[in-house]
Amino acid sequence: MSDAVPALPSADAVAPVAAAATGVKGATTTTEPTRAQQVIARRVAETKATVPEFTLQGEIDMEAVVAFRTERRAATGDGAPVPTVNDIVVKACALALREHPQANGAYRDAQFQRHERVNVGIVVAAPGNLVIPVVLDADARSLDEIAATTRTLAERARAGTITPPELSGGTFTVSNLGMHGVDAFTAIITSPQAALLAVGRVARRPVNHEEELALRFTMPVTLVCDHRILYGVDAAAFLDRIRALLQDPAALAA
């Protein structure tokens, strides 16, 4: 018996094997993206290539929000709609944006812009598409008005009847994958906006509460920022204000 180590096959020897493996994935169907998908692909690629972004991650105590929604559901009865967690997040973001105008701005054409109106976009997955309907003047709307508006916009987006004006004018974006079981994620800014809030799943998690380990409802969030207009300390203060507002949801409903 020989102790010689078998030689590795040469490139020429491997080539026929590679050729024989052609089609191992089965039939491949190639389709052209729709015009909307082409626009999305171009915009996210341009944003990722040109925006110097950074992210801040946090976990917000949601015990008060969960209790607030439970009380509202019991008070309304008859299956009446109750503001979703996302509706409450939109309202909190809108009020925080009013107090932190830099986050409600944009970096465009080498200039800083600050917008007078607070218009919050909500990411909605439509069949074969991704759209961002906008809740205009979200800071001035009641929580119930925001809830009614987001329901209508989401239904129209999924039905394909959303109109260009309903997709225009956003100054900030909320992207929520929590309802799909996602704990935390990051996202791409809706350029040229200064920031986007990515919202994860509300769930009971072990946390340090009043110097004791406790299971409490919390929600992971990631604030994605354009570093050209929104700096770390300012972004942290903005995110902290969102946290404070969510921990007092009764004030949001006032």
CATH number at residue 164: 3.30.559.10
pLDDT at residue 5 in the model: 38
Average confidence (pLDDT) over 82-97:
97
Coil, strand or helix at 113: strand
Dihedral (CA of 214, 185, 113, 251) sign: negative
135 within some domain: yes
3 within some domain: no
Coil, strand or helix at 233: helix
- The first and second tokens of residue 196, run together, are 């986007």
* Residue 7 DSSP one-character state: P
Does the pLDDT value for residue 201 go beyond 80?
A: yes
Average confidence (pLDDT) over 138-143:
96
Comparing 4-13, 19-28, 29-38, the range with the smallest average pLDDT is 4-13
49 within some domain: no
Tell how strand 105-108 and strand 172-176 pair up: unpaired
78 within some domain: yes
Instruction: Give catalytic residue positions.
Output: 227
**Residue pair 155/166 in contact by the 8 Å Cβ criterion:** no
- The first and second tokens of residue 134, run together, are 């906008």
248 within some domain: yes
Domain count of the fold of the chain = 1
Tell how strand 172-176 and strand 120-122 pair up: parallel
